[in-house]
Amino acid sequence: MRLLRYLSAAALATLVVAAPAAHAATTTFGATLEAVTPNSDPAKTCSAGAWWYAEQGVLLNPVPSGDRGSCQFTASGFFNGQVFGLAAPASGTVTAARIKVGSITGPMRINVVRTLFQQTGNVGSPLPSTPFLQRYGPTFTPQANAVTTVPLDLKVGAQATPDPTDTSTVAGTDWLAIEVLAPDVPVPLVPYPNGTFFAAFPGPTAAGVPAPSPNPLPNYGQLNYVVAMNADLVTGGGTTPGPATGGKPTPAPTGGAKVGLRATTAQVAGGRALLDLVCRAADCAGTVTLRPAAGAAARSATTYGSARFSLKAGARAKVRVTLNRRGKRLLVRKRRAKVRAVVALAGAPGPVSLAVTLRR
């Protein structure tokens, strides 16, 4: 059985932890900063839009050019049964944060966002929400090529995970988020193969979002990065989040795609294309259909083959798509052909389109 490499909705449940301890104590949570080299690439900024989608071979929900003035990121990960990242491990007060940036720096802000969690009666498919803004933190400019300590006084809360049989309670967990306020300052992310992050374009400051906000932030989720930040949490006198600023959880939007490709090239043999799919959140079941990548054919009903699949949260599998006559013709005269793998999931609001190259 493969190690679970992605933060699933089931794993998200472990982020909602027990009540605070009776005596005050300080806990540090977040990334280890000593050995990391944060992003300094001028092409990986708020103004560059959703650059990580291109890295993953996913062409989905591009960020509008008018929404790139600032952006906000929060991140976590799940590895070897342990959750790490910027989710508050308990209720209390965050008194300081440390952030590491590279050679290019600029104004930033540390905010508090909240995700919600509700049981559905199926432990493999709980109902998490995308983030809601709770509090604005201070604005600061970190020192380049260094770790900067930022004093904070931010209340955070973490409610206990509801019992699987309790389908009415909505529990909340607060997270720290870094908002980059300048469009051309690199986002201080660190590559990590087990990381998951949630990005908002524009950031709440640029968008004028009130705190707390009743509406979820625009959300783009993806894998393989964490924020180069950690923080100190003092427990014993913090607040516990009340039920749901913003109401009940809603299913994760297609901008944080539940299903993706582990490889952007699919081998074709015996008239079948082998797609390496991964389920990133709650259980994924549906169909994948190969369609033209671009041009007039992409706007038509042309297909090259389809297949059904069913994956558990965090699992990956090789899905065999039998090519029809059109699909087989693609590789008659050449060894490679670019197509789209359109994934329709049961219960999802719309299909997900993934770029893939067929190769024989």
CB 253 within 8 A of CB 228: no
Tokens for 56?
Answer: 């993953």
pLDDT of residue 333: 84
pLDDT at 84: 58
Token pair 């082998």 is at which residue? 274
The pLDDT of residue 240: 45
Among 11-15, 98-102, 105-109, 212-216, name the one with the lowest average pLDDT. Answer: 11-15
The predicted model scores a pTM of 0.61
Count of CB atoms situated within 10 Å of the CB of 2: 8
pLDDT tens by residue, 239-256 = 444 444 444 444 333 333
Q: What is the pLDDT of residue 2?
A: 22
Q: Report residue 32's pLDDT band, with 50, 70 and 90 as the boundaries.
A: confident
Is pLDDT larger for residue 32 or for residue 196? 32
Cα–Cα distance for residue pair 162/332, rounded to 1 Å: 55
Q: Which single residue is written with the structure tokens 């600023």?
A: 245
What pLDDT is attached to residue 246? 44
Percent of the chain with pLDDT over 70: 70
Q: What percent of the chain has pLDDT over 90?
A: 28
| All domains of the chain in start order, with CATH | 9-250 (no CATH), 259-359 (2.60.40.10)
- Please list, in sequence order, all residues whose beta carbon lies within 8 angstroms of the beta carbon of residue 217, skipping any fewer than 6 positions away: 72, 113, 130, 131, 132, 133, 200, 204, 209
